[in-house]
Amino acid sequence: MIRHIVLWRIAETENAAERALAIKENLEALKGKIDKVVDIEVGINFNETEAASDVALVSTFKTKEDLDIYQDHPEHKAVGANYVRPFVTERRVVDYEF
């Protein structure tokens, strides 16, 4: 099994909370659209320390190939292009087998 974790910081604007919610809702909707997703969870951070990220994605796949399919899928790319990349200032990712 593969775990794919992504952490983002959202640009500090008056609608940052709305942006975080849109990221959460649109990423979680991918579970019903991309069959390679075993599980997907998106959390919005409440920790206000300087080291904290704003949004976390934790997703699970059966194989590395399934993760690749997910990352190249048009639905995933559309969420990134429309709801994530335009509004984030920082991204961190880790992928591991378990």
What's the structural domain count of the chain? 1
Question: What pLDDT score was predicted for residue 22?
Answer: 98
Vertex 71 angle, CA 23 and 59, to 5°: 60
Question: Where is 8: in which H helix or E strand?
Answer: strand 2-10
How far apart are the C-alpha atoms of 56 and 6, rounded to whole Å? 6
CATH code: domain of residue 74:
3.30.70.100
The reported pLDDT for the residue numbered 36 is: 98
Segment 49-62 mean pLDDT: 97
Domain that holds residue 49: 2-97
- pLDDT tens, 20-52? 999 999 999 999 999 999 999 999 999 999 999
At residue 90, the 3 state secondary structure works out as strand
Q: What is the mean pLDDT of the chain?
A: 97
What pLDDT score does 6 carry? 99
